[in-house]
Amino acid sequence: MHQLGTLEDLPQEYRDQLTQKNLVPLWPNMRAVLPPRVPTRKTGTLCWDYQTIRPLLLEAGQLTPMEKAERRVLVLANPGHGLSNMQATPSIYMGLQLILPGETAPNHRHTPNAVRIIVEGEGAFTTVDGEPCRMERGDLILTPAGKWHEHHHEGEGPIVWLDVLDLPLIYQLEGSWAMEGQPQVPSLARDKSFADYSAAGVVPNINFERDTQTAPMLRYPWQKTRACLVEMATHYAEGLLRISYVNPENGKSLFPSIGFGAIMLRPGEVISLPRRTTPCIFHVVEGQGSLSVDQGTALQWVEKDTLSAPGYSDITFSNTNSEAPAFLITADESPLHQYLGIY
């Protein structure tokens, strides 16, 4: 590629005139926005180690009452994006949210889509448009764009989950806003939408028009996902054991922005993921191992840790336990990349 002219090549007076008129010459900046063959990636390879974060999260529980937080969250920010921008990837926000027994994170709704991945604790519910969804370890709880949601905790001990939102994307689109609501009065049975859709291949045919675009099933219990992966492993002795979470009405990703999946690593397995354009995050539900990106230094992980890796990279996972499998939940930007034709 040609070396292009720089800003310094231009007379200062000319540059000043451009600035005054809100104009920018492309050529000094062109290689930065259109680099040769591989994009610039701010998303780093990182591991957020739960055991070191947990005491800080519990301390937040003492330092900041719910009224002063509404959502008591420590955000897992990728430093490459600038910590204060609260981005795990260009489009994905992640945070660990804490609720103590008896507390409620008040009802609200907002334009970003959210999924909660339960990390620790029992007895909490997220009520989504009147449906209380039980929150158990490894479950995915969906609060799609615009749906009312509040979290409350009736169990003992703290509950912690990982929030995954398309907030950075919606924010950049100048479309991010929220509104507060009155406390919800549950109008539906617990986990009703899961019950509606839990017979795979059979969907409820009730006498009203179904919205097939918004993900209708709000709770994806981990035990179902895990059992599916374990079953797959009995049929496939090799190859990547991976499932995608889909909208049961249309088979598409849960959200137009973020795609969710889960991976099982067989005991002792070392496996490379297919090279893809999208950055990816990983939450370890069970097991221990290491992650290496582009043959870089291996990061060690154990259950409850969360990791990130950039797109356009070679990602290799090792399960360092030769006796037991490992399970990870994944989130990436593949639906967006597909929609945009850059996948």
Nearer to ligand GTQ, 96 or 264 (CB): 96
Q: Does 248 bind ligand GTQ (CB under 6 A)?
A: no
Least distance from ligand GTQ to the Cβ atom of residue 150, Å: 8
CB of 39 to ligand GTQ, least distance (A): 27
On the CB side of 230, CA atoms within 13 Å amount to 10
Number of residues that bind ligand GTQ (CB under 6 A): 10
In the window 101-120, what residues touch ligand GTQ (CB under 6 A)? Answer: 105, 110, 114
Residue nearer to ligand GTQ on the CB measure, 86 or 264: 86
Residue 170: closest CA among 260, 91, 94, 115? 91
Q: Which two tokens stand for residue 108?
A: 């609200």
Core vs surface per residue 136-168: b (16+ CB within 10 A) or e: ebbbbbbbbbebbbbbbbeeeebbbbbbbbbbb
332 lies in the site for ligand GTQ, by CB under 6 A? no
Return the C-alpha torsion angle 177, 86, 150, 331, nearest 10: 110
**What minimum distance in Å lies between the beta carbon of 72 and ligand GTQ?**
9
Closer CB to ligand GTQ, 94 or 241, in the complex: 94
When asked if residue 163 is in the footprint of ligand GTQ (CB under 6 A), the reply is yes
Query: Smallest distance, Å, CB 108 to ligand GTQ?
Result: 6
Residues of this chain, 130-159, that bind ligand GTQ according to CB under 6 A:
149
43 binding ligand GTQ? (CB under 6 A) = no
Among 45, 97, 193, 313, binds ligand GTQ (CB under 6 A): 97
Looking at the Cβ atoms of 168 and 289, the one nearer to ligand GTQ is: 168
Closer Cβ to ligand GTQ, 162 or 328, answer by number: 162
Which residue's Cβ has the minimum distance to ligand GTQ? 163
If binding is defined by CB under 6 A, does position 73 make contact with ligand GTQ? Answer: yes
128 scored as a contact of ligand GTQ (CB under 6 A): no
∠ CA 298-300-304, rounded to 5°: 140
| Interacting residues with ligand GTQ (CB under 6 A) | 71, 73, 95, 97, 105, 110, 114, 149, 163, 165
